[in-house]
């Protein structure tokens, strides 16, 4: 009996002591590791980017191509959202912030009070697309007033014939991004006249693919999301034209780029900390972004700016 | 008369037997359905994931970094990040968790204060993980590491998340040790530490270990706190030290699922398979440890 206890005893002591030992080792090793990685960061440079998940695919594509030429530069990209990204950017935690809207005055103020100067670079266009199910055969175009009638706060529209008299007597079901989304902010501002002003009794999801599935499988549905999600699912969805007073316009690369798809064309931005631009790798990256960003933006489903716009961005970068 | 009176109760008990048997069958079918719902759901999920992802699971997928092109995408960085986070979390959690459980069960007096502590621990086990993420962001990232969103901050956050589970599991393991064992040791003049060391721990280790590994499995699957702490979803390096930036598997899967291109969903399914394999591996280790120590202690 005593013998078995002593065997177990030594095992247990071994386990406990090895655990504590590893903690101690870790605690001691922490400082060394810190120094090592500081050395490492001097050798291989890093550009930190965070912000909008809408702009993320463009930045990721550019960073991926940039690293093929500069494999020693690490570019981790985060998706804290436009607002979350600016929170980090305005305290100097990140070099570049992705944004699906322009910086707000209070965010710019915040940056100023922390001694952060920045430049705004427009990098691509997106057209928020209004879509219905492929099986919907009665609607091709909606006016902005009709969209507002459907989506405005307090709207009680629940049947297509309430929107236009010649629409059939069919239940309407609504799908859209949730309130955290930059797409929601932009759409509500453009259509309902005020950011975040929207009816709330619709199927909301942060995942646009959920919206795609919902709309595709529902003959009476209507919804909206970024153009890239329509392009990838054009076999299941029917794209609706939007009439803002000068005729029905379908979003496509041409109408989004020249702004005739209005008011749902929006810009996507990156913001760069001017202090970071002093570092050659950040400057190289930004110039690379302006040279290649247009092509890569179209590859991931967005619309490129005009060549002149990218050129003036490069001049802005070089002026820093 | 005597025959009738004998038949009466027997007939009654026959009817009663019939009802009993039927009741038994109904409940058998009911309980069977209950488990089938769970198993069928799990099977559907597994089959769906395997069908979608198995074709994309290859060596390149395990050794490449994430890419905007689904077919060139890999999960090296998030896989390494997950291993780091789990390893560090285990180092932080095990001594504190087991220590707390031993203190509460073997050393602390059962008074109002310890009851309050235990009540708080059970409550903490039910707090949504995203809350721990926000706490970790404020305490570890902003305060302790001065804005650096590193592996240690992620692991410490995960430690807070799973510590209550580890403590409760360890307490249960300690409680399961018969008190007659302790009494026998005390009767021989052992001190409290000797009792813990020689009597309680050898019996409780298997239970503790399975609790710890199941808790760590939960940490492997969490994405919400890491999204807040790290926020990174495109990382092209393997973390080399505890103060490295990082991402984890669930976060990478989450990002892939929300991409517009269809192929990314298959890549996400392949990522889920890897995550499941890691979880199965960890559970296997838990079972192995339990069996090994159970044999030893008998």
Whether B292 has its CB under 8 Å from any CB of chain A: the answer is no
- Reply yes or no: is the peptide bond before residue B69 cis, omega within 30 of 0: no
- How far does CA B16 lie from the centroid of its chain? 46
Q: Which of A18, A76, A39 is nearest to B241 (CA)?
A: A39
Is the pLDDT higher at B142 or at A27?
A: B142
By DSSP bridging, strand A248-249 and strand A237-243 are antiparallel
Q: What is the mean pLDDT of residues A214-230?
A: 91
Q: CA A240, CA A224: separation in Å to the nearest integer?
A: 10
Q: Mark yes or no for CB contact A30/B236 under 8 Å.
A: no
**Does ipTM surpass 0.85 in this model?**
no
Predicted pLDDT at A28: 38
With CB atoms and an 8 Å threshold, state whether B258 touches A207: yes
Q: Is the pLDDT confidence value at A12 over 60?
A: no
Cα separation of B46 and B51, whole Å?
Answer: 8
Per-residue pLDDT of chain B (298 residues; tens, 9 = 90+): 444 544 555 567 788 888 889 999 999 999 999 999 999 999 999 999 999 899 888 999 999 998 888 888 999 999 999 999 999 999 999 999 999 999 999 999 888 999 999 999 999 988 999 999 999 999 999 899 888 889 999 999 999 999 999 999 999 999 999 999 999 999 999 999 999 999 999 889 888 988 998 899 999 989 889 988 988 888 888 999 998 999 999 999 988 888 888 888 899 999 999 999 999 988 888 888 878 877 655 5
Interchain proximity B68–A56, CB inside 8 Å? no
Question: pTM for the full model?
Answer: 0.78
Contact B265 A208 (CB under 8 A): no
Is the pLDDT at A18 greater than 80, yes or no? no
Contacts B91 to A, Cβ<8 Å: 19, 22-23, 26
For CATH 3.40.190.10, the residue range(s) in chain A are: 49-125+268-318, 129-250
Residues of A in contact with B255 (CB under 8 A): 79
Q: Quick one: fold of B59-297? A: MetI-like fold (1.10.3720)
Single out the residue of B134, B86, B80 nearest to residue B244, CA to CA. Answer: B80
Give, as one character, the DSSP assignment of residue B61.
H
CA atoms of B213 and B160, how far apart (whole Å): 15
Residues A166-181, mean pLDDT to the nearest whole number: 89
Helix (H) or strand (E) holding B5: helix B2-53
Tell whether B234 lies on the interface with A, counting CB pairs under 8 A.
yes
The pLDDT value given to residue B9: 56
pLDDT at position B286 is: 82
Are A173 and A219 within 8 A, CB to CB?
no
Q: Which helix (H) or strand (E) holds A203?
A: strand A203-205
User: So what's the pLDDT on residue B8?
Assistant: 52
Report the distance separating Cα B140 and Cα B157, nearest Å.
8
pLDDT at B248: 94
pLDDT at A40 over 90: no
- What's the topology of domain A49-125+268-318? D-Maltodextrin-Binding Protein; domain 2 (3.40.190)
What are the tens digits of pLDDT across the range A109-164?
999 999 999 999 999 998 999 999 999 999 999 999 999 999 999 899 999 999 99
The closest of A85, A91, A83 to A111, measured between CA atoms, is A91
Predicted local distance difference test score (pLDDT) of residue A36: 39
B186: Cα separation from own chain's centroid: 35
Nearest of B169, B165, B161, B92 to residue B132 by alpha carbon: B161
- CA dist., res. B166 & res. B177, Å (int): 17
On the question of pLDDT at A26 being above 60, the answer is no
**Which CATH number is A129-250's, of 2.40.170.20, 3.40.50.1100, 3.40.640.10, 3.40.190.10?**
3.40.190.10
Tracing tokens 């436009």 back to the chain, one arrives at: A82
Query: How do strand A129-133 and strand A173-177 relate by DSSP bridges?
Result: unpaired
Q: How many CB pairs under 8 A join A and B?
A: 114
In the predicted model, is pLDDT for residue A38 greater than 80? no
- Please state, in angstroms and rounded to a whole number, the distance separating the CA atoms of residues A169 and A127: 30
C-alpha A85/C-alpha A212 separation (Å) is 27
Residue A313 has pLDDT above 50, yes or no: yes
pLDDT 10s digits, A271-308? 999 999 999 999 999 999 999 999 999 888 889 998 99
* Contact state of A209 with B261 under an 8 Å Cβ cutoff: no
Residue A215 phi, psi dihedral angles, 5° rounding: -70, -45
Nearest CA in chain A to B298: A4
Confidence of residue A257 (pLDDT cuts 50, 70, 90): confident
Tell whether B170 is within 8 A of chain A (Cβ). no
The DSSP call for residue A121 is E
For residue A216, count CB atoms less than 10 angstroms from its CB and return exposed for 0-12, middle for 13-18, buried for 19 or more. buried
User: In this structure, are residues A240 and A192 in contact, taking their beta carbons and an 8 Å threshold?
Assistant: no
A16-25, A81-90, A92-101, B52-61: lowest mean pLDDT where? A16-25
pLDDT of residue B296: 57
Ordered by start, the domain boundaries in chain B are 2-56, 59-297
pLDDT of B157: 95
Q: Which two tokens stand for residue A21?
A: 């030992």
């Amino acid at each position: 009996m005593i013998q078995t206890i002593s065997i177990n005893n030594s095992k247990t002591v071994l386990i406990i002591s090895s655990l504590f030992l590893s903690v101690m080792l870790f605690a001691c090793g922490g400082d060394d590791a810190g120094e090592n990685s500081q050395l490492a960061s001097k050798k291989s440079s890093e550009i930190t980017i965070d912000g909008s998940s809408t702009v993320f695919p463009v930045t990721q594509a550019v960073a991926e191509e940039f690293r093929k030429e500069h494999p020693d530069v690490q570019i981790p990209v985060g998706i804290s959202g436009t607002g979350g990204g600016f929170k980090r950017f305005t305290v100097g935690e990140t070099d570049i912030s992705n944004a699906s809207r322009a910086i707000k005055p209070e965010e710019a103020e915040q940056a100023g009070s922390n001694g952060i100067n920045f430049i705004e670079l427009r990098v691509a266009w997106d057209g928020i697309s209004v879509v219905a199910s492929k099986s919907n055969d009665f609607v091709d175009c909606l006016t902005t007033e009709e969209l507002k009638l459907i989506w405005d706060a307090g709207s009680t529209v629940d049947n297509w014939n309430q929107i236009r008299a010649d629409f059939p007597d069919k239940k309407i079901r609504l799908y859209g991004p949730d309130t955290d989304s930059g797409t929601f902010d932009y759409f509500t501002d453009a259509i309902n006249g005020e950011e975040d002003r929207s009816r709330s009794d619709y199927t909301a999801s942060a995942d646009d693919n959920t919206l795609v599935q919902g709309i595709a499988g529902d003959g009476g549905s209507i919804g909206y999301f970024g153009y890239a999600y329509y392009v990838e699912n054009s076999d299941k969805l029917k794209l609706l034209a939007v009439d803002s007073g000068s005729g029905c316009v379908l979003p496509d690369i041409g109408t989004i780029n020249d702004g005739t798809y209005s008011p749902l064309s929006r810009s996507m931005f990156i913001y760069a900390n001017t202090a970071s631009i002093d570092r050659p790798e950040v400057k190289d990256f930004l110039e690379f972004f302006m040279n290649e960003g247009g092509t890569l933006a179209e590859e991931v489903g967005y619309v490129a700016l005009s060549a002149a716009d990218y050129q003036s961005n490069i001049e802005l970068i070089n002026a820093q | 008369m005597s025959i009738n009176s004998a038949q009466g109760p027997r007939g009654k008990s026959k009817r009663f037997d019939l009802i009993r048997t039927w009741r038994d069958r109904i409940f058998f079918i009911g309980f069977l359905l209950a488990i089938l719902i769970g198993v069928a759901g799990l099977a559907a999920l597994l089959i769906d994931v395997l069908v979608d992802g198995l074709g994309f699971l290859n060596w390149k997928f395990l050794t490449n970094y994430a890419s905007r092109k689904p077919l060139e995408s890999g999960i090296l960085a998030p896989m390494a990040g997950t291993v780091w986070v789990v390893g560090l979390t285990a180092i932080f959690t095990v001594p504190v968790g087991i220590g707390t459980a031993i203190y509460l069960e073997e050393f602390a007096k059962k008074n109002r204060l310890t009851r309050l502590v235990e009540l708080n621990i059970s409550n903490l086990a039910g707090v949504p993980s995203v809350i721990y993420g926000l706490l970790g962001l404020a305490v570890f990232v902003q305060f302790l590491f001065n804005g650096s969103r590193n592996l240690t901050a992620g692991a410490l956050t995960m430690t807070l998340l799973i510590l209550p589970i580890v403590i409760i599991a360890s307490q249960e393991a300690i409680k399961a040790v018969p008190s007659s064992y302790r009494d026998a040791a005390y009767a021989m003049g052992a001190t409290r530490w000797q009792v813990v060391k020689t009597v309680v721990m050898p019996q409780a280790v298997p239970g503790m270990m399975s609790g710890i590994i199941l808790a760590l499995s939960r940490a492997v699957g969490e994405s919400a706190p890491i999204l807040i702490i790290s926020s990174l979803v495109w990382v092209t390096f393997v973390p080399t030290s505890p103060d490295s930036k990082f991402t984890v598997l669930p976060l990478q899967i989450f990002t892939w699922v929300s991409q517009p291109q269809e192929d990314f969903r298959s890549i996400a399914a392949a990522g889920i398979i890897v995550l499941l394999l890691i979880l199965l591996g960890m559970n296997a280790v838990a079972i192995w440890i339990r069996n090994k120590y159970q044999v030893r202690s008998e």
